[in-house]
Chains A and B, each alone.
Chain A
Amino acid sequence: MKHYLRFMLVFIVSGLLLLCSASYIIDPYGIFAHDKDIFPRKVAAADKGRTVKPYQALNSKPFTVLVGNSRVEIGMPPEHAFYQGKPVYNMGLPGAGISMQYGYAMHAINYSDSVKQVIIALDLLDFTSRAENIVTTIDNSGWQWRHEALNSESFADKRRYLAERISLLFSLSALTDSVKTIVTQQNNVNALNRFGFNDGRVYHFHVASEGFGALYQQKAQEIDQRLGSQQLVFNRDSYHLAELDRFITQLKQQNITVYLLINPYQQPYLDQLTEHKLGQHLYDWKEQIIQLAKHHQLPLFDFAISSSLVTDVVAPNSKVVEDSPYFWEPAHYRPAFGDLILNSLLMNNCHQICNLYSQ
């Protein structure tokens, strides 16, 4: 029996070491910033952006930070002249409200002094509240501990932070995600790279198997469900505008160049906003954003207009991804559109795909 217990001790210690080493080398979440990454597509990180992005950003020393939601994460290209050949970090957070978007971005910016330019991509729905409940304050305790790390005053938060950091190296999820990372490197599933860009490859799979029609239908259902179950409104008394104002002020105080843009939507999405009585709110919101941009002496690029790229909708039965080069579905543009956005920002020229409001 004593031999058995000794064997166990050896197995447990060596097993733990092996597991941690494997997670470190495979780096399933892209947080260890290896110079030569054997598995660059971080498949398991794609749905864990809120957890892994703060840690990814710490090691990426970005010159440019992109801020927004899933549209930015999936729609912006990882390479472009706008980035000046320097590292860029995509802090697009799917489904996150603006408080989280800006909080995460500030955390990345404050950690290193490398950030010199920030693109803030805006969305109407991120600035709305329920008609019967205009939110004036926001509780960030659900994620703030992640940024406070060991500086938090709460023991529970410190414990939570440590547990998360350890679990990203040693946990059942890290183990299965490491295996997933190796096995699905070539598969048509979404993956982040270590700079936070999502390659959106799952769209390739869906388009090839079910066609664009299914994607459009699903998105339309989602939007109808979200907007139909509650009346959303834009109200200037909610916390949103003040939050954006504060974020821009903080960036300017750190001498960071700020670019403001309104994300593009395809025509069916714009139509749905109108159907759900959000057309006027979109107009009012844009007015307020224009005022805010003026106040901060920033140009505003509005891509949420009916340009030719937006009105041209792919045939539903198409199963060829090239048939819709600029949009995956009405709510999410593709990196080709992201390229055009960055061109506009770089040239300070809209080329008929946006409205430019200069100071």
Chain B
Amino acid sequence: MLFNSVEFLFLFLPITLVLFHFLRVRISSQSALYLLICSSLFFYAWWQPIYLLLLGSSILVNFCIANAIYRYRKSWLTILGVCLNLAAIGYYKYSVFFVNNLALLYGSNWQIEQILLPLAISFFTFQQIAYLIDVQRHQVIEPSFSNYVLFVCFFPQLIAGPIVHHSEMMPQFRQGLQISSRHFAVGFSIFCIGLFKKTVLADGIAVYANPVFLQAEQGVALDFFTAWGGALAYTFQLYFDFSGYSDMAIGLALLFGIALPLNFNSPYKALNIVDFWRRWHITLSRFLRDYLYISLGGNRFGFIRRYSNLFITMLLGGLWHGAGWNFLIWGALHGSYLVINHGFTHIRQQYLPFINDGWFAPIAWTITFVAVVVGWVFFRAESLDGALLILSAMTGANGISLPAGLVAQLDFLSPLLQWLNVKPYLGGGMLFVETWVWITILLLLSVLLPNVLQLFYTQLPEQTRKGVTVAHSAIQWRPSLTWAAIISLLLIIALSTLGRVSEFLYFNF
């Protein structure tokens, strides 16, 4: 079930909310938690009921292994648990990729049938691996099975995160759920903002990204502006899609009195790649740092090991997103970016003191943003050839063209257009203008406007703000008439897009 579907918005959510609050007030917090578990399992089963068995058995097995680790304190149990999780995800997500590549390597015709990827497997597997490792590392355990089930399958975060940590969730379940009208007002407002970001902004710009990538896959030689238009459109589609989903998850959880961690902190405002990864998919970065990078040795064995660990972490982070060479390349690219970034920071501190933050900031922002856009081309393209075709067009290798109608309107720029050897082409003027208007608006929104954390900073629970630093914003949400009007308007516009339900991009990972 999608958050932006009629079934969810007008049936599932209202019914669950009403029953939840009825049970919490009239019976007990525990009964309300049971309801949340049932509704979360129903929410998951809506997609493919059969995979409920996979989710259920994964929860059961991990719960038992965690208890065994806690009781017997044997590291082989942790290894067994992690291996079982990796085997499950390996089978469902990576087996086809590995078999196909092995077949290619050995020139054989081995083939296995394409397996339907269980929804959210990457998310619930990683959450549970983290739990097993922490039981081993810190000797913490959750004795209540129901709390554990809810920790894994709580529906607002089950499908596409944020990847929650047991230390953030279990105490909330144990304390009983304290819900006030503030939770409701803030949660609902954040949900509306997220819904607007997904349905209006992300889906709105998607129509300008998808055809460009499709053309590239078909081998069409793209021109400079078309390639950049497609790459930038996808850059904003992905951000507003995923951050919209995360906002909706945070808002929904608050409606049930539960605080989820922040997942996005205006990543496109980042001035370097290290900063970008502190702002983009924060809970995944945290997981990769705590359970992969640190496990590999982190920065404890000199800079070469540190950089290799960083690179390997990002490479595997890329593979986490999908079984394909493009994801590996994307991960490797970001691993390299991080290595270069750390290296440059070191050199700058030692030898380049004249670089001043003031004048360097726009340059740093541009370099970071372009590097991220280049990475997204690999992330989005279906094949390596498609990605390379777009990137080559982005360098101007296929020349620069503009719609003839636009060239006619830009007569006053004709010397410049001639100097740049800009060629006119027939038709497509409206599409060109719309693409770039969308890109400009979304760029301004992502760079100039405060994010949800900044807007609701004083209203959000501590768990959501934890570990994230944000600049103070002059624009602050208040429970006022003006904000009620603004949020209502966003919701109405978002609701008006329901006729064209589209999936969230991160459901694929």
Contact = CB atoms under 8 A, between A and B. Distances in A.
A8 B199 CA distance: 20
Contacts of A210: 404-405, 408
A171 B427 contact: no
A11 B484 contact: yes
Contact of B426 (A3, A11, A175, A214): A214
A324 to B, nearest CB: 18
Nearest to B493: A172
Contacts of B499: 163-164, 166-167, 171, 173
B185 A4 contact: yes
Main DSSP-derived SS at the A contact region: helix
Contacts of B498: 163, 167, 171
B496 to A, nearest CB: 4
Contact of B488 (A3, A11, A170, A218): A11
A4 B480 contact: yes
Contacts of B287: none
Interface stretch (A12-20, A238-246, A304-312): A12-20
Contact of A1 (B184, B404, B427, B489): B184
Given A1-B479, A7-B484, A8-B488, A172 B426 contact: no
Contacts of B416: none
B: contact size bracket: 20 to 34
Interface in B1-55: 6
A19 B496 contact: yes
A166 B6 CA distance: 12
Contacts of A19: 492, 496
Interface in A164-222: 164, 166-167, 170-175, 206, 209-210, 214, 217-218, 221
A1 B188 contact: no
A2 interface: yes
Given A1-B180, A3-B479, A172-B497, A8 B188 contact: yes
Contact of B491 (A12, A166, A218): A12
A16 B200 CA distance: 17
B497 A1 contact: no
Nearest to B183: A1
Interface in A1-53: 1-5, 7-8, 11-12, 15-16, 19
B181 interface: yes
Contacts of B117: none
A217 B479 contact: no
Nearest to A160: B499
Contacts of B497: 171-172
Interface in A114-162: none
A218 B188 contact: no
Nearest to A1: B181
Contacts of A218: 426-427
**Most interface-central of A8, A15, A209, A217 (chain B CB within 10 A):** A8
A338 to B, nearest CB: 25
Given A171-B499, A214-B404, A217-B426, A12 B483 contact: no
A: contact size bracket: 20 to 34
A206 B500 CA distance: 32
Interface string A219-232: 00100000000000
Contacts of A7: 481, 484-485, 488
B182 interface: yes
A210 to B, nearest CB: 6
Interface string B465-493: 00000000000000111011101110111
A167 B497 CA distance: 8
Contacts of A15: 488-489, 492
Interface in B412-441: 426-427
B485 A171 contact: no
A172 B488 CA distance: 15
Contacts of A209: 405, 408
A2 B479 CA distance: 9
A253 B500 CA distance: 40
A1 B182 CA distance: 6
A162 to B, nearest CB: 10
A175 B493 contact: yes
B301 to A, nearest CB: 52
A335 to B, nearest CB: 23
**Most interface-central of B481, B491, B496, B500 (chain A CB within 10 A):** B496
B24 to A, nearest CB: 18
Nearest to A202: B430
A72 B482 CA distance: 51
Nearest to B182: A1
Given A19-B496, A163-B499, A171-B499, A5 B185 contact: yes
A269 B339 CA distance: 60
Contacts of A206: 405
Interface string B161-197: 0000000000000000000111011001000000000
Nearest to B426: A218
A11 B485 contact: yes
A182 to B, nearest CB: 17
B204 to A, nearest CB: 8
Contact of B484 (A4, A16, A171): A4
B307 to A, nearest CB: 47
A2 B497 CA distance: 28
Interface string B186-219: 0010000000000110000000000000000000
A204 to B, nearest CB: 14
B501 to A, nearest CB: 8
24 contacts: A1-B182, A3-B479, A4-B483, A4-B484, A5-B184, A5-B185, A7-B481, A7-B488, A8-B487, A11-B488, A15-B488, A16-B495, A19-B496, A164-B499, A166-B499, A167-B500, A171-B496, A171-B497, A172-B496, A175-B496, A206-B405, A217-B426, A218-B426, A218-B427
Interface of A: 1-5, 7-8, 11-12, 15-16, 19, 163-164, 166-167, 170-175, 206, 209-210, 214, 217-218, 221
Given A5-B184, A7-B485, A19-B496, 14 more contacts: A1-B180, A1-B479, A7-B488, A8-B484, A11-B485, A15-B488, A15-B492, A163-B498, A166-B499, A170-B496, A174-B496, A175-B496, A217-B426, A218-B426
Interface of B: 6, 180-182, 184-185, 188, 199-200, 404-405, 408, 426-427, 479-481, 483-485, 487-489, 491-493, 495-500
Q: Which 10 A-B pairs have the closest CB atoms?
A: A167-B499, A11-B488, A4-B479, A7-B484, A1-B181, A218-B426, A172-B496, A15-B492, A1-B185, A172-B497
